[in-house]
Amino acid sequence: MLEFTIEAKKSDNIMYHFIPIEVPEGIGRLEFYYDFYPEKVKGEKWVNEVGICLKDRDGVDVGARGRKGEKIVVSGAYSTIGYDRREIEPGTWTLVVTANRFISDEYIIKVYVDLIEKKEGWYAGDTHCHTSLSDGHCTYDEVLKKAERNGLDFLIMTDHNRTVMGNLPLSNKVTMIEGVEMTYPCAHANVWGVKTPYSKGYATNDFNEWLKMKKECENNGALVSLNHPLCSKCGWIWPLENQDFYDSIEVWNGPMRPDNQACIEWWHDKLTEGKKLKIVGGSDFHYDILVTNFIGNPTTWVYAKSNSPKDILEGIKAGRTTISERTKSGTMITMTSGDAICGDTVKYADGATVKVSVKKFKRGERLLVKNADGVIFETKCKRTGDYVFEVPVPKGGFVRAETKKFYDPIMKFVLNMALVFMVPKQAFKSHPEYCTALCSPIYFE
């Protein structure tokens, strides 16, 4: 922790004291607080007061609120009320201290600053969520509370054709990220990370015009992800094959069902063709019914440098993702090969292996490790727990992993009842073995 002392004298007639803070690379959170004495002056009605302001490395005010002893937090994920949410970029930041009220002839101000490094790791989130600003039933605050309760680390707001209005609520638990779902009769696409990604209206009947709009979104710093492309109700009808115009594909939309299973198999086929398609899952949350709890079903886990919006989105763009049914209780798969993790590309060498870690692997689930030729490793869980398997990589290409199971009668009934409302023609039909978790591949070249 850094400590600074200012001996302020009324006779010096200095209004502002500037404290430079040298911020190195890799800092994710800046915290500070201050103290001063004396506060009260004997015989005086009024007390001394001190104000404080933070400027970023470009000299722009971040915030100017604070009280004696109160910790102020600034980060890309969360900032104290009165301070802008801001990535902590390396450079010289500045704390500006002033005597709001100078009653005594002099007093001492102590300022304490903590530069907290980014915490790299897996962050759980939901990439697809609607509110009452489009066709959902909940407000921003209500969906945030659901996300906090379900243990998510981030949540992306994606109302239909409605960019974020006002400011998203801030939480010290869940990183809120701006987004919008560009919704057409023939295609749905999420646009993440920018409050106003396009300058004009979203409506167009022409695919090439949409591509121009998508390019504008990307130029403004947004990521674009294709939603539920094989959905029987609202799939992607615009050109899709042999196109590389998307940052990721939502292969798992809402509770697992036939359309999702078909999309995962389609994605696997694209991998065998040599494509490196990044994947996410999203709940497509609109509202809960009675005992349902859809936020985070499924959960997209992103390996990121920190929980800031910038780092989360960079992790998605890099393909460092894995998907589970639930945040707290769902089976979760991660995979490494040396220093490489899911989404990475490494050079293939004889004797190469992948280490597949399966957390909350459930009794009766099957783990399948696959490459372009099919299954290269398989095992069935006999006792629920956490497991690690080392699997030889027979050749270059890709290796990915998933867990699957057949639903029991109760789960089949619940799914069939849901399909009655979602996709009636698929209700009360035979169901395949469903995916319960899957991870992005490691690519070997």
Q: What is the mean pLDDT of residues 248-257?
A: 94
Q: What is the mean pLDDT of residues 234-260?
A: 88
Q: What is the mean pLDDT of residues 319-329?
A: 96
Are 89 and 75 contacting, i.e. CB atoms less than 8 angstroms apart? no
Q: What is the mean pLDDT of residues 377-403?
A: 97
Q: Which pLDDT does position 242 carry in this prediction?
A: 67
- The confidence band for 84, taking pLDDT boundaries of 50, 70 and 90, is very high
Residue bearing tokens 């680390």: 153
Q: Which pLDDT does position 243 carry in this prediction?
A: 67
Q: Which pLDDT does position 427 carry in this prediction?
A: 74
pTM, to two decimals: 0.92
The percent of residues in the chain predicted with pLDDT above 90, rounded, is 80
Q: What is the mean pLDDT of residues 132-145?
A: 96
User: Residue 260 pLDDT > 80, yes or no?
Assistant: yes
User: Residue 300 pLDDT > 80, yes or no?
Assistant: yes
User: Residue 204 pLDDT > 70, yes or no?
Assistant: yes
| Both structure tokens of 361 | 């692997």
Q: Average pLDDT over the chain, rounded to whole?
A: 93
For strands 187-192 and 179-184, give the pairing: antiparallel
Are 189 and 224 contacting, i.e. CB atoms less than 8 angstroms apart? yes
Q: What is the mean pLDDT of residues 255-262?
A: 92
| Both structure tokens of 439 | 């991870």
User: Residue 92 pLDDT > 90, yes or no?
Assistant: yes
- What domains does the chain contain, in order, with CATH numbers? 2-117 (2.60.120.380), 119-328 (3.20.20.140), 331-445 (2.60.40)
The more confidently predicted of residues 101 and 196 is 196
Q: Which pLDDT does position 325 carry in this prediction?
A: 95
Nearest CA to 156 out of 177, 180, 181, 134 is that of 177
